[in-house]
Amino acid sequence: MPLFKKKESKLLQIKEKSNPLEKDIQEATEQNLNEIFGLDYVSSEFQLNGLRVDTLCFNKESNSFVIIEYKKDRSFSVIDQGFAYLSLMLNHKADFLLEYNERNKNKSLNRESVNWEQSRVIFISPSFTVHQKAAINFKNLPLELWEVHYYDGDLIEYEQIEPFENSENIETVTGGNKLIKEVTKSIKVYDLDLHLKRGSENTRKLFQSLKEKIMDLGEIKENPKQLYVGYRISDSHINFVAVHFYKEKLELTILIPDKNLEDPKKWTRKVPKSFGWA
């Protein structure tokens, strides 16, 4: 879909720039990691065992490492390269911890403080092929594809390629690939079904009614995590509500200023600052 700029009563199309340099994409991304992805920068060009990590990041929400790779080569295999980087991380945890701790003198991590199950790889490119996009259409795949587009007027757009819903697991189509089997045993991608199974028939019905109202608010993205299902505006990395499933009830954590909260029945309580959310 083309972008337009309104000038009086006319719409002027904003032209997309072709062939942005990989180093420019990397620089813009690294300097704005929190704004784009909600991630903290760790380091660039981290080399280990013959592989080079373009950008190493840390996700404070899930306490996990995220690897970002920038690609202009349209022939690379998303699955092969993605799982190679995840395997590198899982087999060299000490090196990743050392890299983080050396770059963050005021913070430190140890093996137990990192949720290795939530490790991810993000590929960023001006465009992906049809085959590369199709490669991520599997259940429980810890890989993301993002296209970046440069426009006149210093405009930059990051757009995630969303996978189709598919019940098939990546392991069912990779045969005896040892590396993929090892990684998928260690990496967890949580989905809505996990949370629905925690509830009863009544809480599932209640959730479906709640979800419909949330999704009716606009372009909302569902974000299942280990302990909750989050919902955020599609261009944001912050959940405005998180739904926690219990057998006989749902518990909601809502991001809202105190002055805007209407609670005549006094059902709500403020999240303690010790939780790190307030």
**Domain CATH number, residue 121:** 3.40.1350.10
Structural domain harbouring 36: 14-186
Q: Does residue 278 surpass a pLDDT of 60?
A: no
Q: Which residues contact 157 (CB under 8 A, 6 or more apart)?
A: 3, 148, 149, 151
Q: Does residue 168 surpass a pLDDT of 80?
A: no
Residue 97 placed within a domain: yes
Residues 139 and 213 in one domain: no
Residues 23 and 157 in one domain: yes
Kindly report the average pLDDT of the chain as a whole number: 89
Residues 86 and 25 in one domain: yes
> What's the number of domains the chain is made of?
2
Confidence class for position 120, pLDDT limits 50, 70, 90: very high
Confidence class for position 212, pLDDT limits 50, 70, 90: very high
Q: Does residue 208 surpass a pLDDT of 80?
A: yes
103-117, 136-150, 166-180: the lowest-pLDDT one: 166-180
Residues 138 and 204 in one domain: no
Residues 140 and 246 in one domain: no
Final residue belonging to a domain, choices 140, 169, 186: 186
Strand bridging mode 120-125 / 143-151: parallel
pLDDT score recorded for residue 256: 85
* pLDDT, average across residues 92-97: 96
Residues 27 and 128 in one domain: yes
Which pTM does this prediction carry? Answer: 0.83
DSSP state string for 72-138: --TT--HHHHHHHHHHHHHH-HHHHHHHHHHH-TT----GGGS-GGG-EEEEEES---HHHHHTT-S
pLDDT score recorded for residue 156: 94
- Contact call for residues 203 and 248 (beta carbons, < 8 A): yes
